[in-house]
Amino acid sequence: MKANTHLFAAGGSELETGCTAGQPCTVEYSSLATTITIDDPDMNLLEAAIKNRIPHMQECGGNGRCTTCRVKILDGLQHVAPRNALESRMALRRGWDPSVRLACQTRVRGPVKLERQIKTFSEISRLQEEMVKSGKGEERQLAILFCDMRNFTPFVEGNMAYDVVHILNRFFSALGEPILMNNGIIYQYVGDEIVGVFGIDNTDDTHNCLAAMRAALGMQAALEVLNEDIRQEFGISIEVGIGVHFGPVIVGNVGHPSHQQFGIIGDAANVASRVQSANRDLGTTILVTDNFLCQLPKGAARVGKAEKVHLKGKGAATQLFELEGFEKEDDLFLVQKTTGALFSDEGAFANEFYGRLFAEAPEAQHMFKGSMDRQGYLMGHMLKGAIYALSRPKNVAMGFRELGRRHVGYGVSEAHYILVRKALVDTLESRLKENYTPRIRLAWERMFDLAFKFMKEGAAGKNRYTASSKSKI
């Protein structure tokens, strides 16, 4: 039920303006240089964005269970309705100032100018840092991943400064993505190193270690693709060593009170760094500790070499294992691994998908109004969002159920799901070419089936998250 929202103004005074008084109110999106109008006083900012085809993060589907739809009011805060109880609790817990609002819970009564605070899916994992209490250290069990570029000094000395920075940025972008895609936080870049941590949001240890394993293997796969490009462009290739450990650290905001930053303190971080260094002596690429391996489900990891190594600063030898892959290929890993190739040209993917869909169902074209280029971008936005959200399964069900509920209003029927599934699978095969295997096809089909299952539930009127809704992909 929508709240009765009338006569809201700053300071609690009654003032009829904008859509409250029957006149449309305007919402300006700063970075998009786009202005939309709202003429329904009961429509929240997220609903207005969706209606006007503004790409807007909404991982939980606008149910107030995540903070990905947050916006910052740049101008016109006096025209914004006060926070409801749900949003007030969220804002208090995360320490927001009055200008930061949840779009799914916020209604406006006059002209406002705002900015979406989360514009890309890779930014979402960083939101976990808000849950670390300011001025207070907490002990957490985290999976920590260190990745180091080999032969960095000769690389710097042998290339022009511009090329060094260019290649490093491509390296960090390609290898950082698997961390973010698996709900990890990129803790820091140090010269030629990238550090990822998993578990800040207090999910269970097994889930976090599987995410770190998926990220490590994803970084290895991403490096293969990157090396194909830079060998042709610069005549060089990059080698890395990756070390993964699981253990206790202290997390907190550290630094001068005016400029504190998220930090982790403890021996576990040092161990992960020294584990990655051991790859040089053992001739391996990914090494993990027994502490880490014990957190994984039995039989999940395929390991190679097993050696006891004396790490710097440790009295006893540490048991290390070479991580070669999954014993049984992980669906989510396979989907993530092929995402880059799939969306290297979003426009081409969308054009081919809609071409196949309309060839099978010409009558479906009437559901799509306006620019198909815009529609293609929004479709790619939704699909990539689904891939990222699978690492946060508590939000997946709610988000897709809400999407299914909206699609009822667009005229989507049960038959359309079958046609869309076929068009997606056929487009995958065409776009992935030689990388398309029966196992990869099965992984993507399972993801589509999971999404469509929740969407159909939403279309049928079910839109509540339950523990049984967790993703099994």
pLDDT in tens, 309-352: 999 878 789 999 999 999 998 899 999 988 877 777 777 888 88
Please give the pLDDT value at position 202. Answer: 72
Please state, rounded to an integer, the average pLDDT across all residues of the chain.
Answer: 85
CA nearest neighbour of 81 among 10, 161, 184, 144: 10
pLDDT of residue 156: 84
Cα angle 398, 404, 409 (rounded to 5 degrees) comes to 135
pLDDT band, very low/low/confident/very high, at 12 (cuts 50, 70, 90): very low
Q: Amino acid identity of 46?
A: L
Give the SS3 label for residue 454: helix
Q: For residue range 381-399, what is the model confidence (pLDDT) as tens digits?
A: 777 777 888 887 777 788 8
10-116 is classed CATH 3.20.20.110 = no
Q: What's the predicted TM-score (pTM) here?
A: 0.82
Residue 373 pLDDT grade (very low, low, confident, very high; cuts 50, 70, 90): low
| Of the candidates 471, 330, 466, 329, the residue with the CA atom closest to the CA atom of residue 389 | 471
The model's confidence at residue 446, banded by pLDDT at 50, 70 and 90, is: very high
- Find the angle CA(251)-CA(257)-CA(258) to the nearest 5 degrees: 120
Check if the beta carbon of residue 118 is closer than 8 Å to that of residue 57. Answer: yes
Q: Which fold has domain 333-469?
A: Globin-like (1.10.490)
- The structural domains of the chain, with segments of one domain joined by +, span 10-116, 129-328, 333-469
Segment 95-152, tens digit of pLDDT: 899 999 999 999 999 999 999 998 877 777 777 777 776 667 788 999 999 999 988 8
- For residues 9 and 146, the model is more confident at 146
Distance from C-alpha of 367 to C-alpha of 375, rounded to nearest angstrom: 11
pLDDT of residue 10: 32
How high is the pLDDT of residue 5?
A: 33
Q: How many C-beta neighbours within 10 Å does residue 445 have?
A: 15
7 dihedral zone (left: phi>0; alpha: psi -120 to 50; beta):
left
pLDDT over 70, % of the chain: 90
Distance between CA 111 and CA 26 in Å, rounded?
5
Produce one character per residue of 76-103: b if its CB has 16 or more CB atoms within 10 Å, e if not.
bbbbbbebeeebeebbeeeebeeebbbb
DSSP per residue, 74-104: EE-GGGBPPP-HHHHHHHHHHT--TTEEEGG
> What is the pLDDT confidence band of residue 89, given thresholds at 50, 70 and 90?
very high
Share of the chain above pLDDT 90, in %: 43
Residues 6+ apart with CB under 8 A from 151: 239
Q: Report whether CATH 3.40.50.920 matches the domain 129-328.
A: no
Q: Is the predicted pLDDT of residue 243 greater than 60, yes or no?
A: yes
SS3 content of the chain, % helix, strand, coil (to 5): 50, 20, 30
Q: Is the pLDDT of residue 466 over 70?
A: no
| Gap between the Cα atoms of 181 and 148, Å rounded | 19
pLDDT at 380 over 80: no
| Lowest pLDDT segment from 12-26, 195-209, 445-459 | 12-26
38-70 confidence digits (pLDDT tens): 989 899 999 999 888 888 888 888 888 889 999
Of the candidates 186, 210, 200, 212, the residue with the CA atom closest to the CA atom of residue 141: 200
**Distance in angstroms (rounded) separating the CA atoms of residues 178 and 216:** 8
Model confidence at 189: pLDDT above 90:
no
| Biggest distance spanned by C-alpha atoms of the chain | 75
Supply the pLDDT for residue 18.
62
